[in-house]
Chains A and B, each alone.
Chain A
Amino acid sequence: MLLLVQYTLIFASVLLLVALGGCFSEHSGVINLGLEGIMVIGALGGALMMRYLPAGTSGFMIVILTLLAAIVFGVAYSALLAVASINFKADQTIVGTALNMLGTAGATVLVKAINTAANPDDVSSTIQYIEPKKAFIVNIGSFEFNWFMVVAVIMLIFAYVVLYKTKFGLRLMACGEHPQAADSVGIDVHKMRWAGVLISGMLGGLGGICYILAGVSEWKFENGVAGFGFLALAVMIFGQWKPTRIALAALLFGFFRALSNVYFGFDWLVSLNIPGSVYNMMPYIISLIVLALTSQHSRAPKAEGIPYDKGMR
């Protein structure tokens, strides 16, 4: 039971971080379908940092530097989306999709190259981080408390405050709702959208490293992040682009994802004799159902997905 709570919280943290990322991007007017790829690259950044940190590094420094690396990678990678969709008015769906594929392919190529260089017989795309991972975890009894749960809560507060209490948030949302209006009062729409996308890169990168640290001590980059970027988008839509509601939605989705990891710990679930694949499918099925029920009346930022062209005002 405790294990279920633990996994629910950690997966909810992932979904919350990434969904908040999507939320920032969409509030600025850019649909970020590339979150999946951003997660992979963020995870790559964090994993590489953990791999190359010297053995004696203090736990605190490991956590900080790993997070920082994930953020830097995520932000840098999201710039690819920003430049294409904002400056070149590229189709956001195509570019987002390309980023997802590029993320997995690029990370695989890089990690394999690193592994092969270190050991010519090693052609895997796996990075191990058994030791540094311990820095992220505090054992409270049998409950593994993970620092990412704190990070997620901090980011939730950060998102709420930034969006609703600051000048920046007001301007950002204006750009996603009515960029012509924002432009007419001297707000640089392109700059704000860049900011929105880069913040989503930061949160997506954090979510990525959080995801690969969630259950295991090594990650095979060929696998990407199994649609989590898209689950996060479903969470965002279910949460109606509002941080607090997104947090609740993330908990719900996190629960179903956690089930697939721990269902064998429940005798009555095991006795039902349902194949493991069914539990694996659960989060995706739930998200389809949730989207079917909520999408009809959802109120997305009005100008999302439409490139802003100064000539059109």
Chain B
Amino acid sequence: MSLGLVEDRLVFEKSRAGRRGVTLPASDAGEAPLESLLPGGALRNAPPALPELSELEVVRHYTRLSGKNFGIDTTFYPLGSCTMKYNPRVHEYGASLPGFARVHPLQPDETVQGFLALAHSLERALAEITGLAAATLNPSAGAHGELTGVLMVRAYHHDRSEPGRDTVLIPDSAHGTNPATVTIAGMQVQSVKSGPDGRVDLGDLREKLGTLGGRVAAMMITNPSTLGLFEIRIGEIARLLHEKGALLYMDGANMNALLGIARPGDFGVDVMHLNLHKTFTQPHGGGGPGAGPVAVGEKLVPFLPVPRIVQEGGAYRRREDFPKTIGRVRSFQGNPGVFVRAYAYIRSHGGEGLRKVTEAAVLNANYILARLRDAYDLAYPGPCMHEAVFSARRQVKQNGVRALDIAKRLIDLGFHPPTIYFPLIVPESLMIEPTETEPKETLDAFVAAMLTIAGEAAEEPQKVKDAPVTMPVTRLDEVRAVKQPRLRWRPR
């Protein structure tokens, strides 16, 4: 990032009445007054106050704005749970081909055989990777996949005349989306404790299953957990749930740790979502788009959302005539542009290669764990899977340097901060996920920065608390943003 590129004005503040960035051909269909074509009462009174700029000004404005951002292309992003791996450029090339980018979602099936073949192959690949029977690509993002999965669980129990199964068990280390999803699916959340080793407390699970009995619809579990730990007793957990007629839902946010290493279907998972933008590398684009396919075992196949892509006589078709489907979860068929990129990643690696992806991701995480364990408190003993979770409690106790301060100081040293204050059960947590695409030299530089900060926290804590000082802005007044909300620009 170069400060010379920093832009402070809003696009509206550069606007000059009468400027244009785009001109369009004159009408070749006459100039009939709009009042004669549209009902007079429906016409707009005042035009929207959009900015008016030349193309150069627009290009320069947004180019300069980009200079105020970190991105994977410029900076290491060790964001735990977010899996910020490299986004290969061939994916962008593929997604921009007219046969993918300029296809209308309601074109007849026979005109979109390429796209449907790709989507069908991706569904098959995801079923293979997860060890489950089928997959839907329709959900828009991970949380949307969760909702789709939980709605299928609900439909399954209703179909078996067990509508009383209205409760979903969720470990206390789970992502916030899990409980939020259960609520909007019309069910209740019951929290399950983590044991001292950071894994699900089986005693608590047995107790909850005992008390709730036939009310448990499913357990939503993240494996590896948000603590970066493989749930060693996952087979036992699945057995306990299945004995009680409940299903096992897996949050696949951390699937990057399991490619070719273990298949959720093989350890008893009935349904799971995958975050294509994490494991299968979709550019995060400053927060979206993503895609959240859901893979299911045989018993949930009838409930998959529509449309479904089926292969019939050598051709692919979209079909909606499935009587037990949960219905449509959005317009059309998911985010196909994301499918192109995800499938390209899978094909770039092949089966052996995917296992090597996971091996490298886990090797990188354990390397960071090993290099930082003396300077920072480890939340739980290793080895970890794809991410290492530390706590800044030592630094807090010592000089009041918090995880937040460490995160901000990392920005000054040229790294995006790790995920902080999550999972909630680790105080002052620093959750570091390096991913497989980072070379050792980058990890070494990051470790050096973290060790520098640990030293500063002990010797010159104010330096850490005042960070960052090298960015276009220093720390923000977030209270003011809530108490005096300004949610849009207005002319002064």
A binds B: no
- Interface residue ranges, A against B (CB under 8 Å): none
- Interface residue ranges, B against A (CB under 8 Å): none
